[in-house]
Amino acid sequence: MSTGTPDGWHRLHPLSPVVRGGRATIAIGILLLPILFSGGRVTDAVPQLAIIGVLALGGFVSWLVTRWRIEDDDLRVETGLLRRQSLRFPLAQVQAIDVVRPGLARMFRVAELRLRMAGASGATARLAYVAENEVEPLRDRLLALARGARLHEGLPAGDAELARPPERVLATVATGPLVASILLERGWLVLVLVGLLSGLVVSPHTAAALIGGGGFIWAISIVTVLWRRFNQQFHLTVAEGHDGLHLRGGLVALTAEVIRPGRVQAVRLVEPVLWRPLGWCRLEADLAGRQRGKGEGEAQRGQLRTLLPVAKRTLALELVDRLVPDRPSELSPPPRRVRWKSPLRYRVLRWGRSDTCVATVSGRLRRVTCWVPLEKAQSLRHVQGPVQRRLRLASVHVDTAGKAVHATLRDRDAGEAAQALVELTDLARAARRRAAAA
Amino acid sequence: MPAAAAAVAVALAGAGSSWALGLAGGSLVAGVIGWVAVGRRYESWGYAERKDDLLIRRGVLFARLSVVPYGRMQFIDVSAGPLERAFGLATVRLHTAAAATDARIPGLERGEAARLRDRLAELGEAQAAGL
C-alpha cells in the first residue's frame, strides 16, 4: 500500500496494464523484436512504434484513473476516464476473497484479489493487480474489516465462512491420463500434426513447400489447441467446501472458482469413442450467472465448465450425485424401429426421470449423458419431423439456460413423448414452486 | 408467392409460344401447390394461454409444440416488418434464458399482439423465478 495518498486512495500496481494486456503485451514484444534485432534505422519502424505508443498510453491512462479505498464498511473502486465509474462493495457481504495469479502476473510478481459478494447478482470486486508481497496483508485486512462490518450490522460474524475451513479434496487430475486423454479425443488432429511433422523430417523440399503453403501455420494452430486444453486442465482439483465445489488448476494461468450447487443448470458426462476402452469420461457442468471473463465486460449467460477433465465413470457419477440430487437410476431404451432412423444412435439412446431430474443419453460416436434438474428447465419442446411421423416417433427437448448442454428425449414412441411432455411440464412446475418456496 | 406464380402463368400464356405455354402450366401447378402449402402452414400455427404456461404450436413438416412457463420469460418483444405493417399485423416473440427456446407467434392483429404482450408481461412478473 505504498501508493496510498493522504486521503486513503490507493492505486493499483503500476505494471497492472501490462499484465492485464496479456496477449497484447506479448504481441508488442513480438513487434519490438525485429526493431531491436534488424539493426535498421528507427524511422523504418514508425508504424510499429506508433501502435506501441498508443497501446502503452491507453494502459497508462487506465492505470492512472483507477483507484480504490476503504470507506467505513465499503470498498470503493473508481475507474474510467471518459465514462467514470464508481463501484461500492459493502464488505459485510463479502463471502470469500480469492487470490488469482495468471502466468504473466506471476512473472511480474503481482496478483489479483477477487472479493466474492453474496446476493443474487453474484458480483465480484476485482483489484487487478496488487504487488505480491502486499496481497496477503491486504486480504487479511479486508477479511478482518468484513468481520467487523458484520458485527456492526448485527449479522453473524461468519468466522467459519471467512476463515476458509478445510476443504475435502475429491479428485485431482494426474498429468499422464490428461495428456493421453487429450491426444485420444483429438485423435485426428494429432494424426494431421504427425503427418505434417513427418513431412518436415522426411524431405526438406516439401517442408519448404509446406511452410510456404501454410502447413506450418496449421501445425502451430493444432499445437495451440492441444496446449490450451492442457494448460487449462493441468492438475485440476475438485474439492468440497462449505459453500460448494472448489475448482482449482492450470499450468501457466492458475484459476480458482467456487461452484455453488444452485448455479448448476445442467451436468453432462462425455465419453469420446477412443476413451471408452479405458473406461474414462469427462464431466462438465453448465453454469448460469453473468460472469466476467478475462476480457473486461465480457458477459455470458451460460458457461460450460469442465469439472473432471478425465476420470473413471464411478468417480464422475459420485460427483454428479453431489450436483444433481436424486438422479434417475433407470433409463429406458427407445422402441426398436428407431434403428431405421438413427442406426448409429440406436444402441445409445436412453432417457429417464425422477421427480426432480431428467437424464438423457445420446451421441453417435461419443456418448453424452446429460442431467438437467427440472427446476432449471426453461422451456419444453415437442418436435416431430417427417421421418419420425412415418415411424410414429417424436422427440422432446428440455431447454436450459446456456447453449452447451441440452437434454433431448430423442426418438421416443409418439405416445410416450406426448405423455412425457405433459408429465415433465407438471414436474418442472412443481420443482419451480419448491425452489421458489425454499 | 402463389400470387406471383399465377401472374407469371398469365404473362407466359399471353406470350403464346409452345414452351411459354408449358412454363405457364408449370408455374400454375407450382402456384396451386404453394397455395395449399401456405394454407397448411397457416393452419399449423396456434397458441394457447394456460394457467402457468403458454403453448405454441407450429410447423407442417416438422411439427413443434413449445411449452414456455410464464415465470421463465425474460422479455417479450413485438415486431412488425414492412409487409406485416401493410396488413396491420405483428409478431410476438418470447425470450427465456435458454437460447434454444424458439417461441414466436407471427401474424397477430396489432391489437391482439398488444393485449398478449401486456398479459404475458403481467403473468411473467407475477410468477418470475430466478435462474
DSSP A92-143: GGEEEEEEE--HHHHHTTEEEEEEEE-STT--EEEEEEEEHHHHHHHHHHHH
Q: Structurally, how many domains does chain B consist of?
A: 2
Residues of chain B with pLDDT under 50: none
Q: B117 and B72: one domain?
A: yes
Q: Are residues B7 and B61 in the same domain?
A: no
Q: Is B34 on the interface with A (CB under 8 A)?
A: no
B79 and B92 together in one domain: yes
Question: By 3-state DSSP, what share of chain B in percent is helix, strand and coil, each rounded to 5?
Answer: 50, 30, 20
Q: Of the CATH numbers 3.40.630.30, 3.40.50.20, 2.30.29.30, 1.20.1250.20, which one belongs to the domain with range A10-162?
A: 2.30.29.30
Same domain, B36 and B70: no
Separation of alpha carbons B84 and B82, rounded Å: 5
Pair (B56, B116) in one structural domain: yes
Q: Which residues are CB-contacts of A80 (< 8 A; sequence separation ≥ 6)?
A: A65, A66
A46 contact partners, CB below 8 Å, separation of at least 6: none
Q: In whole angstroms, how large is the CA radius of gyration of chain B?
A: 20
pLDDT at A239: 86
A256: nearest Cα among A268, A239, A269, A273: A239
Q: Is A164 touching B (CB cutoff 8 A)?
A: no
Alpha helical stretches, state H, B45-98: 82-86
Residue A381 contacts B, CB cutoff 8 Å: yes
Element (H, E) at A317: helix A313-323
Considering the domain architecture, whether residues B59 and B119 belong to the same structural domain is answered as: yes
Per-residue pLDDT 10s for chain A (438 aa) are 445 566 778 888 888 888 877 767 777 777 777 666 666 666 666 777 788 788 888 888 888 888 888 887 788 888 888 888 888 888 877 767 777 777 778 788 888 888 877 654 556 788 888 888 888 888 888 888 877 776 666 555 554 445 555 678 888 888 888 888 888 888 888 888 888 777 777 766 666 666 656 677 777 888 888 888 888 888 888 888 776 788 888 777 667 777 777 778 899 999 998 898 899 999 998 876 544 333 333 333 456 788 899 999 999 999 999 888 888 988 999 999 999 898 889 989 999 999 999 999 998 888 999 999 998 888 999 999 999 999 999 999 998 886 677 889 999 999 999 999 999 999 999 998 888 887
Contact (Cβ atoms closer than 8 angstroms) between residue A345 and residue A410: yes
One domain, residues B50 and B36: no
Q: Which pLDDT does position A195 carry in this prediction? A: 81
pLDDT on residue A389: 93
DSSP for A34-55, written as a single string: HHHHH---GGGGHHHHHHHHHH
The Cα A432–Cα A286 span in angstroms is 19
- Out of A378, A389, A428, the one facing B96 most closely (by C-beta) is A378
Backbone φ and ψ of A183, nearest 5°: -65, -40
Are B19 and B73 members of one domain?
no
Same domain for B52 and B37? Answer: no
Domain interval for residue B63:
46-127
Q: Do B131 and A401 touch (CB under 8 A)?
A: yes
- Which 8-state DSSP code applies to residue A335? P
| DSSP letter (8 states) at residue A425 | H
ipTM of the complex: 0.81
Contact A31/A56 with Cβ under 8 angstroms? no
pLDDT of A228-287, one tens digit each?
A: 888 888 888 888 877 678 888 877 766 777 777 777 889 999 999 889 889 999 999 887
Considering only alpha carbons, which residue of chain B is nearest residue A390? Answer: B61
* Cα–Cα distance for residue pair A143/A92, rounded to 1 Å: 10
Give the best residue of A121, A378, A397, A429 to mutate against chain B (max B CB count within 10 A): A378
The pTM score is 0.71
Quick check: bond before B70 cis, omega within 30?
no
Q: Does B73 touch chain A (CB under 8 A)?
A: no
Nearest residue on chain B to A402, alpha-carbon basis: B98
> Do B119 and B55 sit in the same domain of this protein?
yes
> What per-residue confidence (pLDDT) applies to A289?
54
Residues B61 and B121 in one domain: yes
Asked if A432 reaches chain B (Cβ–Cβ under 8 Å), the answer is yes
In our burial notation (b when 16+ CB lie closer than 10 A, e otherwise), range A228-243 reads ebbebbbebebbebeb
Residue type, A371: W
**Grid cell 486480504 in the structure block, residue:** A139
> Which residue in chain A is spatially nearest to B65 when comparing CA positions?
A382
Q: What is the pLDDT of residue A301?
A: 43
B38 reaches A (C-beta below 8 A): no
Contact B72 A380 (CB under 8 A): no
Cβ atoms < 10 Å from Cβ of A377: 29
- Phi-psi bin for A429: left (phi > 0), alpha (psi -120 to 50), beta? alpha
Q: Is the dihedral of CA A268, A273, A274, A280 positive or negative?
A: positive
* Extended beta strands in A289-392, E state: 302-312, 350-353, 357-362, 367-373, 377-384
> What's the pLDDT score for residue A123?
66
Do B52 and B12 fall into the same domain? no
The ranges of chain A annotated as CATH 2.30.29.30 are 10-162
Residue A352: which residues within 8 A CB-CB, separation 6 or more? A328, A329, A330, A331, A332, A358, A359
pLDDT of res. B64: 92
Residue to mutate among A372, A381, A406, A409, with most B CBs inside 10 A, is: A381
**Sheet of B103-109, strands arranged across:** B75-79, B89-95, B103-109
User: Min CA distance, B91 vs chain A (Å)?
Assistant: 20
| Cα–Cα distances in angstroms (integers) from residue A254 to residues A106, A128, A294, A318, A373, in the given order | 9, 15, 12, 26, 30
Chain B residue with minimum CA distance to A262:
B131
What is the b/e burial string over A42-60, where b = at least 16 CB atoms within 10 angstroms of the residue's CB? eeebeeeeeebeebeeebe
Q: Tens digits of per-residue pLDDT, A55-96? A: 888 888 888 888 888 887 788 888 888 888 888 888 877 767
Rg for chain A (alpha carbons), in Å? 26
Q: How far, in Å, CA of A328 to CA of A323, rounded?
A: 13
Contact across the interface for B131 and A403, Cβ inside 8 Å: no
